[in-house]
Amino acid sequence: MTREERTRIKTYYDREQYSKSNLSKNMPGLFDGTVEIFNPIRDIVKALSNTALKDLGIENEKLKEIWEINQMTTFSKKIAKEMYLNEEVFVEVILTPDDQIRYILHNVDDVEYTEVFGEIKKFKVEGEQVYFDDNGEEQGREYSREYIKLDTGTVKRIEKIDDDTVESPFILDKIPVSKFKNDSNIIEALNIIDKINETECYIGRIFGIHGDPWLHANGVKQFADVNSSNSKIKKNAQLLEEARYKNKRIINTQNSKEMEASFKYIELTNPLISEMQNDIARLEKRLSNLFPEYLLVDTATQNVSEETYLLKNNGLKTKVASFREDFIKSLLETDKIALELSGSSDELTENDYTYFDTFMENEKSSKLTTLSLALDVISKAKDIDEEYKLKKLIEKVTDDTLQDLSGLYD
């Protein structure tokens, strides 16, 4: 994903894609009257991250403390959002002067890095550092922090604040940065959204023409002229100026053969609105096929809808599982660095992470429901079988009794 694509995606997430400065960066040839009517980008991102990371937890006690310091419930969702929108982001782990472990999120466009066979060999971030001076006033200063993995296997850290540069060996033999990456296809949604909004605006214009139709005026010059010496023609011009339709759009054509004006409203006899609406439905269907997570959002409440989990959508299940797997893989690397920096020797694996897998839980629930129904059927069948046996026994006793009774009267 290029920087330009990431910038464009962000305008859709921020709902600024049709501002004057951004309109030309969208779908080529987009109608310049297009405004936002439909834009599910935020909903798509929210649905995927909330579903994939629902009730995310960790079994390690030390990491529970670190997670609490870094407010991981919120921070993990922020990582997931940026990971989906930008395709990749970086999380740096630092040890503060008061011995706290902090996670810092870096946008891919704010860093320089070199990666060799999946290992980050060089990482540099630049920005402005905000601090408070002796008078308690907020100040800003330029800073940069760089890590370099040396051939000796050690890591050198270079920190620069304004013109002061400090180089020092880093305490770990690895650069304390993890890359969170996902093969995001969110860029594919943008042109579809543009086309839907463009068509919606065309429909709006058509309705506008019907509600406020154009007026065709023919021969107006001869019929009404405010500068005419003919009092009738001059009066007609005054009446025309005062008419209800004076502010309407008028298409004026001259006809020298006719001395009287004619007026007619122009209305569309076949506006193709139904075809346009069908096209919108087709595009929305295509969007939901590309982004099955879009189906998770309740458009009325903007919340993730539990009911849609029951949909048998393998594409949705696979996408959520893949996103979660990518996220936890990178989070595992981040948390391992955090444990090392904190002096902990605890082993950590992906099995130490917990989360609520909605699809699995619904499958379990579905199986339990099926089993319960099966047991109910078996129980009823057993009752029927017992009733059948009892009926046969009664019939046999009745037959035997009748035979005995008949023998008494023979």
Tens of pLDDT, residue by residue over 148-163, are 999 999 999 999 988 8
Segments in 19-71 forming alpha helices (H):
41-52, 61-69
pLDDT at residue 302 in the model: 46
**Total-model pTM:** 0.73
Reduced to 3 states (helix: H, G, I; strand: E, B; else coil), residue 71 is coil
Diameter of the chain measured on Cα atoms: 137
CA dihedral angle for residue 241, residue 247, residue 248, residue 253, rounded to 10 degrees: 40
pLDDT at residue 158 in the model: 95
Report strand pairing: 214-218 vs 250-253.
parallel
Q: Mutual orientation of helices 41-52 and 188-211 as an angle, nearest 10°?
A: 140
What residues of the chain score a pLDDT lower than 70? 131, 212-223, 240, 242-271, 297-314, 361-410
**Phi, psi angles (nearest 5°) of residue 187:** -60, -30
pLDDT at residue 399 in the model: 60
Record the tokens describing residue 24, joined without a space: 């030309």
CA dihedral angle for residue 85, residue 86, residue 88, residue 89, rounded to 10 degrees: -90
Q: For the segment 340-397, what is each residue's pLDDT rounded down to a tens digit?
A: 999 998 999 999 999 998 777 666 655 556 656 656 655 555 555 665 665 665 566 5
Burial profile 312-349: b = 16 or more Cβ within 10 angstroms, e = fewer: ebeebbebbeebbebbbebbbbbbbbbbbbbebeeebe
> What is the Cα–Cα distance from 92 to 170, expressed in whole angstroms?
14
Q: Name the residue ranges covered by the structural domains of the chain.
A: 1-87+187-212+271-356, 89-181, 214-266
pLDDT at residue 267 in the model: 67
pLDDT at residue 236 in the model: 75
pLDDT at residue 409 in the model: 47
Q: 221, exposed or middle or buried, with CB in 10 Å at 0-12, 13-18, 19+?
A: middle
Task: Using alpha carbons, list the distances in angstroms from residue 284 to 100, 262, 289.
Answer: 48, 45, 9
Segments in 302-357 forming alpha helices (H):
314-341
Which conformational region is residue 75 in: left (phi greater than 0), alpha (psi within -120 to 50 degrees), or beta? alpha
